[in-house]
Amino acid sequence: MMSDRKMEDNEGMSSYMIQVNNEITCLMTQNDCGTEATRSEEVPFFLRIALFILLVCCNVLVAKYVVFSYSIAPGVSFFYTVVALMIVTTLWFGMYGALAAYAGCYIGAGILSGVPPDVSLYWSLADFWQVIIPLVAFRVLKADPSLRTLRDLGILVVFGIILNNIAGALWGSATLALSGSIPWAEVPSVFYGWLIGNIIVCITLVPLGLYFITPNIREHKLFIRHYWS
């Protein structure tokens, strides 16, 4: 009788432990699912718009200041520090950053700096090229914007410092000449002044901003991992 009772007690204890383990497993599963649901929760669209407006305002203010202070041609600054801000925010916030770069250039470096509004519409694409080229390169080549490897840094140098600024300087100086804002004879000096100044700014500020700040920005829901989300 004692053995039978012990066996019954052991079986009851085993059943109880199994039930407890199952409940713990269910709770853990629910917590994991809840965490995933929270992570995948969509950011309200008005926050994206608010971010976009904030970026535009920052780009306009800095662009206007540096063009006013270090101008070498209508809308062109040798010390165009805002290009660094435009590149890093585009790599963080995708197309919202890219469109904010265009808008910031159109208003700050363009209209407020003496470039006619109709000319600024296509001239400001220079800043758009300067940010969209590194954005596409980072997304297609799956580079890490926090620059944790030499490959990431190499992609930034090629597409986020050299090629993008060549494209921007070429487009900007040529469209100024096409619009009659500068004579064609000044295109080489404007091109090289734009290019050299941007490269100096980008190689100095962009890697530092990406390396040290990206890990914190990446934790925020507004961080864009692709182009729009």
- What does the pLDDT look like over 50-63, one tens digit per residue? 999 999 999 999 99
Residue 38, number of CB atoms within 10 A of its CB: 9
Q: Give the separation between CA 214 and CA 225, rounded to whole angstroms.
A: 12
191 and 104 in a common domain: yes
105 and 136 in a common domain: yes
Within-domain flag for 228 = no
Within-domain flag for 141 = yes
201 and 110 in a common domain: yes
For residue 80, give its domain range.
43-218
Q: What is the pLDDT of residue 174?
A: 98
Examine the pLDDT at 17 and tell me if it is beyond 60: no
Q: How many domains, the chain? A: 2
- List Cβ neighbours of 154 (8 Å cut-off, separation of 6 or more): none
189 and 108 in a common domain: yes
2 and 94 in a common domain: no
Phi/psi region, residue 43 (left: phi>0; alpha: psi -120 to 50; beta: rest), is beta
Within-domain flag for 90 = yes
Residue 195 confidence class, pLDDT cut points 50, 70, 90: very high
Q: What is the mean pLDDT of residues 140-169?
A: 98
Cα–Cα distance list, 62 to 1, 26, 66 (Å): 89, 54, 6
54 and 128 in a common domain: yes
Residue 43 confidence class, pLDDT cut points 50, 70, 90: confident
Q: What is the pLDDT of residue 166?
A: 98
162: burial class by Cβ within 10 Å (0-12, 13-18, 19+)?
middle
Q: Give the separation between CA 123 and CA 125, rounded to whole angstroms.
A: 5
Q: What is the pLDDT of residue 20?
A: 43
Within-domain flag for 58 = yes
* 86-121 confidence digits (pLDDT tens): 999 999 999 999 999 999 999 999 999 999 999 999
141 and 54 in a common domain: yes
161 and 172 in a common domain: yes
How high does pLDDT run on average in the chain? 88
Examine the pLDDT at 15 and tell me if it is beyond 60: no
Within-domain flag for 223 = no
Q: Give the separation between CA 44 and CA 181, rounded to whole angstroms.
A: 42
- List Cβ neighbours of 33 (8 Å cut-off, separation of 6 or more): none
79 and 32 in a common domain: no
Q: What is the mean pLDDT of residues 121-141?
A: 98
Would the pTM of this model clear 0.85, i.e. be above it? no
Residue 21 confidence class, pLDDT cut points 50, 70, 90: low
23: burial class by Cβ within 10 Å (0-12, 13-18, 19+)?
exposed
